[in-house]
Chains A and B, each alone.
Chain A
Amino acid sequence: MARPTPDTEQRTPPPERARLQAAVRLEGVHKRFGDVTAVDGVTLDVRQGEFFSMLGPSGSGKTTCLRMIAGFETPTSGTVLLLGRDVTRLAPYDRDVNTVFQDYALFPHMTVGQNVEYGLRVKGVAPEERRGRAAEALRMVRLEGFERRKPSQLSGGQRQRVALARALVNQPAVVLLDEPLGALDLKLRQQMQIELKAIQQRIGLTFIYVTHDQEEALTMSDRLAVMNAGRIEQVGTPAEVYEKPSTGFVAGFVGVSNTLSGDAAREVTGSSATITVRPEKIRMLERDERPGDGECSVTGHVRDVVYLGANTRYTVDLDPGGELVVLQQNLARSSMEALEVRGKRVRLAWDRLHSRTLARSEEGTGPPGPGEEGT
């Protein structure tokens, strides 16, 4: 027999690797719609039992990735593996994956109970058993006793939970969630973030969560992938992505963009390579204070001050050009004192370890400011 090509070796892994098997693996996945390249070469491993987020601005290809995992779209090229099995061309109903849709997609003519039971019913599970499992799933999302309601009789948050219960009841290998909290108001959304994460931890299923909200992704995820224009910019834990953004895009999209390049970078680091530093890592020095060992520093004058209650945000125009945003906790400072700094000259300093040099090829990528993205 001919030696297997590396390609087939990856598709049929030996049994001893099965335990460490990725729940989902995308290998060089591309998806084109006519002239539009929605997904442009994504390679990604999602581990079993993790809460994995895909974060990116609108149009970056997150939904398309999710739909290829669910089976609603077929990649133009590349492979989708589910627990090591090639499912690239399988129909959605042959994949052990369930989706929570952004518009919930509850069946309007069925009761809540019938909606939740649906997956079990089409798989031929006996009525007794599926009623029990549906009740349990509804208990999990704190909707016990809602079986007989119709979806039209529920609030947005309740529909959201029914959609979640309808997916969870099947115990799929992976649960896909496409901006599931997008339609809820802020307060409910924050409450549901905590609840969703708690449920995921309790049942230990793999969740892949799509969002354009960086705060949401950072709060909920075990790991996340930051996407831009159909590509993955960085994969890592929330702390890694936030504190060590590997590209200018990530630095800008996750948190506030604070990048220094050219003369400003040279003055601070001695090299013109672009660096980035998080606003809360920067100190504003007292009048006679010198920067400490291992700190870099730069001077400028305060252009803008925004008092945020717990924090104050300063925008500082730097003497060598460019600007930095500085976020300071209001430990002993009143709003009056904070606002007085406007127009004053200041010296900024931060620990060298907190600034990161960005990969050269990424310097040109203009990151959109957070908040610019749509849904």
Chain B
Amino acid sequence: METRGVRIFMRVTSVLVLAFLYVPLAVIFLYAFNSTVGQKWPPSALTTHWFGVAWRNTEVREALFTSVRAALGATVIALGLGSLAAFAVHRFKFFGREALSFVLVLPIALPGIITGLALNSAISSSGLSFSLLTIIVGHATFCVVVVYNNVIARLRRTPGSLVEASMDLGADGWQTFRYVIWPNLATALVAGGLLAFALSFDEVVVTIFTAGPQITLPIWIFNNLLRPTRLPQVNVVAMVVVLASFVPVYLAVRLTREPAPGRFPAEVVPKPQEQLAVASAAV
């Protein structure tokens, strides 16, 4: 039984926890628009001045591009390896299947500093030079798992009889993949890719151990945190990093949300013209 007191207590704690998580973020967002260099509460006036300053700062711009390139590279690798691994684990029974599944998921639980250290010594002893490529490989180690998890969850939720039905109706392996498997997997892949991008984009620890002279946005923040004159730009960059991580995660959550069973969502009924477009596009 849930008494009134308990209910109030739960609400208050929920609000407190959420406030603890999000108020500092809101403060950073607010300071990004602060007109003075020093941080004084409350901000006396608001301005978008610092966005221009940050954008004109070549160091920041370079860092942004490095971050985007690293995240894109890690995402591509994660999509390839993650989905192939998911297919293999789902489809075939082979020796070490459970072990492979575990090994793929493990990096997300490993402390970044361990992963970073291990990668660092592996890279230096192999004679490779630290570069954007090593950042990408480093990030890919923990990005693979999110794609893998998304894809395998979707594969497990897709009844095997769909593939059989497709073959039964005359579709060969390729047609079955194109018309049945792919459309069912696409949103899971996109969601996995978005999460991988977000994970890579705000990564600090592994980046420190795998980067050469390159600087990513989070590293730039880290380097400039203690320089008072840079503080407004740091706030701007922080806001960009937060948004660049939040938006993909939000989209990924939307894409993998299951439609409520038994509900007839209005948006799934295509209008007549759309229907024709879908049918002809599918030819």
Contact = CB atoms under 8 A, between A and B. Distances in A.
Interface of A: 70-72, 91-93, 97-99, 101, 103, 105-109, 111, 113-114, 118-119, 121-123, 127, 131, 147-150, 152-153, 166, 170
Interface of B: 159, 161-162, 164-172, 175, 179-180, 183-184, 259, 264, 268-270, 272, 275, 278-280, 282-283
Contacts of A111: 270, 275, 278
B212 to A, nearest CB: 45
A107 B165 contact: yes
A72 B183 CA distance: 23
A101 B168 CA distance: 10
Contact of B168 (A98, A113, A127): A98
Contacts of A106: 165
The majority secondary structure among interface residues of chain B is: helix
Contact of B170 (A103, A105, A122): A122
- Listed from nearest, the 6 A-B pairs whose CB atoms lie closest are A119-B169, A105-B161, A105-B165, A122-B171, A92-B167, A109-B183
B268 A166 contact: no
Contacts of A121: 179, 282-283
Contact of B169 (A109, A127, A131, A166): A166
A119 B170 contact: yes
Given A72-B164, A148-B275, A153 B269 contact: yes
Contact of A170 (B170, B175, B282, B283): B170
Contacts of B272: 148
A161 to B, nearest CB: 15
A149 B269 contact: yes
Given A105-B159, A119-B170, A148-B270, A99 B165 contact: yes
Contacts of B278: 111, 114
Nearest to A163: B165
Contacts of B161: 101, 103, 105
B269 A148 contact: yes
Nearest to B183: A109
Nearest to B169: A119
A105 B161 CA distance: 6
Given A105-B159, A119-B170, A122-B169, A127 B279 contact: yes
A93 B170 contact: yes
Contacts of A92: 164, 167-168
Contacts of B172: 91, 93, 122
A318 B124 CA distance: 93
Nearest to B263: A152
Contacts of B275: 111, 113, 147-148
Given A93-B168, A98-B168, A153-B268, 11 more contacts: A72-B167, A72-B168, A91-B172, A92-B168, A98-B169, A107-B166, A113-B279, A118-B171, A119-B169, A121-B179, A121-B282
A97 B164 CA distance: 12
Given A111-B275, A118-B179, A91 B165 contact: no
B169 A103 contact: no
11 contacts: A72-B167, A93-B169, A93-B171, A97-B168, A99-B164, A105-B161, A108-B162, A113-B275, A119-B169, A148-B270, A148-B272
Give the residue among B179, B270, B272 with the most A Cβ atoms within 10 A: B179
